[in-house]
Amino acid sequence: MWLEKLHLTYFKSYDEKTFTFGAQVNCLVGENGSGKTNLLDAIYFLTLTKSAFHNQDALGIRHEADFFLLDGVFSDLDRHIQITCSLQRGQRKTFMADKKHYERLSDHIGLFPLVLIAPNDTDLIRDGSEERRRFFDGVLAQLAPDYLSDFLHYNKILNQRNGLLKLFGERNYLDEDLLETYNQPLISLAIRIYSHRMTFMERFLPLFRKYYAFISSGNEQVDVVYESEVASDSFESEFRKNRARDLHAQRTGKGIHKDDYVFEIDGITLKKFGSQGQQKSFVIALKLAQFELLKIDKEKTPILLLDDIFDKLDDRRIYKLIELIDDGLLGQVFITDARPERSEKILEKVKADVRFFEINRK
């Protein structure tokens, strides 16, 4: 599967532009601020229904414009599929496949698998648990529609329960029967989501360790330890015992929204003791494991976006990624670089078809 054509209208820095891409390596070159990363974000948006870099869809609309439109043609075996996304300022975004509207945006996620490796990926290590949950939830959302459905349902009920707790606090009263209508489905969904995550980690970890060894050429033992209160057999009773604290805090204090994934190297926390090189190898290995799982489960080779990697990675790690391209393990790849001469030198011996696109502000 690969993206053949992309048309952008009023998306971020673009007025109107059409690109025709190659099926293998597409290198986007141009000065910083010219729109290279914005183009990657358009591809990301078209496949995953949201931006990779911000949470507000309206930020994708070009300044002083009233809407944006993204229109792409994907080639999947012998099929050509047109995916269109549009957003009018102040309205909800719409997605269409071959000019037919999706009933639910979640139906689109996972149909066109994609992985992004970006300079800020090490935030997964430095930031809090929310960032790590977001990454793994994003992987699972592409892999398993039933997980995405449970996850969305859980968050809907969680928000409703939190709203009820706040209302109880403001009005200084408690309706236990009403609260229970949220407790039981939240507990059931938490247990189901925990089971999803555990099963996923059993498959993910061997691939992650394999890619870390490949990228780092090191002998360190790496691990991702999934921590969850839901793992306890007494989770349901502990959830209910926490009611008084929930009422005081006006929010739900226990559940899968409190889970974390602890990154370790040789048995110690990567965040505190890992070198910069080890951290970079760690996050690249996470993304490559994601790539392989998507490839296996979807029976499609995901699109791979590599944003500004030549600036952020040392030569050894860059050439390890290039080795994967040469071995034919990667499909369509998009690379951004502010220095065309560097890209040409790095990619000159790549056996795959390489196409260069000069991106400018015009």
pLDDT (tens digit per residue) in 322-361? 899 888 889 999 999 999 999 999 998 888 999 999 998 7
> What is the pLDDT confidence band of residue 310, given thresholds at 50, 70 and 90?
confident
Q: Is the pLDDT of residue 218 over 80?
A: no
For the residues 220-232, what does the mean pLDDT come to?
95
**Residue 317 CB-half CA count within 13 A:** 25
Q: What is the mean pLDDT of the chain?
A: 93
Q: Give me the mean pLDDT over the 141-161 stretch.
A: 95
**Mean per-residue pLDDT for 135-153?**
94
CA distances from 212 to 207, 215, 353 (A): 9, 5, 27
At 276 the pLDDT is: 85
- Give residue limits of the domains in the chain: 1-113+301-362, 123-299
Is pLDDT of 119 > 90? no
Give the separation between CA 113 and CA 139, rounded to whole angstroms.
10
Residues 6 or more apart whose Cβ sits within 8 Å of residue 124? 131, 132, 135, 263, 283, 286
Q: In this predicted structure, which of 45-59, 179-193, 256-270, 272-286 has the lowest mean pLDDT?
A: 272-286
> 1-113+301-362: CATH homologous superfamily?
P-loop containing nucleotide triphosphate hydrolases (3.40.50.300)
Percent residues over pLDDT 90 in the chain: 83
Amino acid at 256: I
CATH number of 123-299: 1.20.1050.90
Q: Which two tokens stand for residue 77?
A: 């075996």
- pLDDT average, residue stretch 160-177: 94
Average pLDDT over residues 80-95: 96
pLDDT recorded at residue 272: 85
**What percent of the chain stands above pLDDT 70?**
99
Residue 277: the pLDDT is 85
- 144 backbone dihedrals φ, ψ, rounded to 5°: -135, 105
pLDDT given at position 362: 58
Q: Tally Cβ neighbours within 10 Å of residue 115.
A: 24
Q: Characterize 4-32 residue by residue with b for buried, 16 or more Cβ atoms within 10 angstroms of its Cβ, and e for exposed.
A: bebbbbbbbbbeebebebbbbbbbbbbee
Predicted local confidence at residue 8, as pLDDT:
97
Average pLDDT of span 211-215: 93
> pLDDT tens digits, residue range 241-295?
999 999 999 999 999 999 999 999 999 999 888 888 889 899 999 999 999 999 9
Return the sign of the alpha-carbon dihedral for residues 234, 236, 238, 241: negative
Strand pairing category for 2-9 and 67-76: antiparallel
Q: 283 versus 311: which is more confidently predicted?
A: 283
DSSP element (H, E) containing 236: helix 235-241
Closest C-alpha to 231, from 195, 179, 178: 195
119: tokens are 């300079």
Instruction: Please give the Cα distance from 258 to 17 (Å, whole number).
Output: 43
pLDDT at 329: 85
